[in-house]
């Protein structure tokens, strides 16, 4: 018994002849001559070591072995066609799911979605906002924006925005810090914490302020709580500069101090290599990177 498989062309010829019971019709279907079809069939029968057709003049009929082989080969070709159609549909579909944190979605992505609709009207962008790291393989995620060092095995990582923090508040709270604002006056207002308290500790240390309890103030765990509390006038929050540019420009919030804290991390756009085969993913990726430069 031979280990090598028959050639694909021979199998295609056999499947077509068996379906039409005609070398001529098979040749027309496959765009080759009947003589070429006949050669494929003879080679296939030689390789298999048994006849697949009974020949009676110009008439063809499948042998018992040929009949069983045809059913198997036809089924195999059907599976190949279905797999190919599924893959093509998958690569051409225009629904893209982007995973990101709630904070990134609220402060950076959502304000830009009107521009996305204008730039990519044919793409249905779905946003999965959560602090949990979602799986490309099991959660149906096409792209992800993740906070950290950008490493993700089997993916392309591109830095989207840096991660430097500013202390921000509404103008009414800023008045409590004096004119000009004094760092020491932060002890008189509430420090609002987002997710954890270490950021304020590091920000104050780098600003040279050592006599303020960095642990005081409420801790919010949903990624936007500190921001909403700050807008309500409850205190001062640390926010990523790129998240609040528009709010600062409008005067809705102010940054009383020029001091910043760079955590050494950033927001990275993560794309699995196989996702780059889809034109819709490439378009969304290009739009995100273009927005990151503005």
Rg (CA), the chain: 32
Q: Given a cut of 90, is residue 42 above it in pLDDT? A: yes
Query: pLDDT band at 91, cuts 50/70/90?
Result: low
Q: Given a cut of 80, is residue 3 above it in pLDDT? A: no
Mean pLDDT value across residues 38-61 = 91
Instruction: Give residue for tokens 């500069």.
Output: 241
Strand order in the sheet with 124-129: 124-129, 95-100, 143-148, 261-272, 155-168, 236-240, 191-194, 219-220
Q: Given a cut of 50, is residue 1 above it in pLDDT? A: no
Q: Given a cut of 70, is residue 187 above it in pLDDT? A: yes
Portion of the chain with pLDDT greater than 70, in percent? 96
| Residue 173, pLDDT score | 96
Query: pLDDT band at 138, cuts 50/70/90?
Result: confident
What rounded mean pLDDT belongs to the chain?
A: 90
Q: Which of 31-35, 72-76, 81-85, 97-101 has the lowest mean pLDDT?
A: 81-85
| Residue 267, pLDDT score | 92
CA distance 267 to 22: 63
Q: Given a cut of 60, is residue 2 above it in pLDDT? A: no
Q: Given a cut of 80, is residue 248 above it in pLDDT? A: yes
| Residue 160, pLDDT score | 93
Q: Given a cut of 80, is residue 73 above it in pLDDT? A: yes
| Residue 285, pLDDT score | 95
Structural domains of the chain sorted by starting position, each given as residue range(s) with its CATH number in brackets:
8-92 (1.10.10.10), 94-293 (3.40.190.290)
For 97-128, what is each residue's pLDDT tens digit?
999 988 899 889 999 999 999 999 989 999 99
Question: Collapsing DSSP states into helix, strand and coil, what is residue 51?
Answer: coil
For 208-241, what is each residue's pLDDT tens digit?
998 899 888 999 876 688 999 999 999 999 999 8
Mean pLDDT value across residues 188-204 = 90
Query: pLDDT band at 56, cuts 50/70/90?
Result: confident
User: Which residue spans within the chain are E strands per DSSP?
Assistant: 53-56, 59-62, 95-100, 124-129, 143-148, 155-168, 191-194, 219-220, 236-240, 261-272
Mean pLDDT value across residues 153-157 = 91
């Amino acid at each position: 018994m031979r280990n090598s498989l028959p050639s694909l062309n021979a199998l295609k010829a056999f499947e077509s002849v068996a379906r039409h019971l005609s070398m001529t019709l098979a040749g027309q279907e496959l765009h080759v001559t009947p003589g070429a079809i006949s050669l494929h069939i003879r080679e296939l029968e030689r390789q298999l070591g048994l006849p697949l057709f009974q020949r009676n003049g110009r008439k063809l009929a499948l042998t018992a072995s040929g009949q069983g082989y045809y059913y198997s080969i036809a089924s195999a070709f059907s599976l190949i066609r279905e797999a190919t159609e599924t893959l093509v549909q998958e690569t051409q579909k225009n629904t893209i799911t982007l995973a990101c944190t709630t904070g990134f979605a609220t402060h950076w992505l959502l304000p830009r979605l009107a521009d996305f609709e204008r730039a990519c009207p044919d793409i249905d962008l779905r946003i999965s906002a959560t602090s949990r790291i979602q799986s490309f393989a099991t959660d149906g995620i096409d792209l992800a924006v993740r906070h950290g060092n950008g490493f993700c095995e089997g993916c392309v990582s591109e830095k989207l925005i840096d991660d430097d923090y500013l202390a921000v508040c509404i103008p009414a709270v800023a008045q409590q810090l004096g004119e000009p604002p004094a760092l020491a006056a932060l002890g008189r207002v509430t420090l609002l914490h987002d997710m954890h308290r270490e950021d304020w500790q590091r920000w104050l240390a780098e600003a040279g302020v050592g006599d303020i309890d960095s642990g005081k103030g409420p801790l919010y765990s949903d990624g936007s709580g500190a921001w909403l509390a700050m807008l309500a006038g409850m205190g001062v929050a640390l926010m990523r500069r790129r998240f609040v540019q528009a709010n600062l420009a409008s005067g809705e919030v102010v940054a009383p101090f020029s001091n910043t804290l760079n955590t050494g991390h950033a927001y990275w756009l993560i794309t699995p290599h196989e996702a780059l085969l889809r034109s819709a993913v490439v378009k969304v990726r290009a739009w995100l990177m273009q927005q990151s430069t503005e």
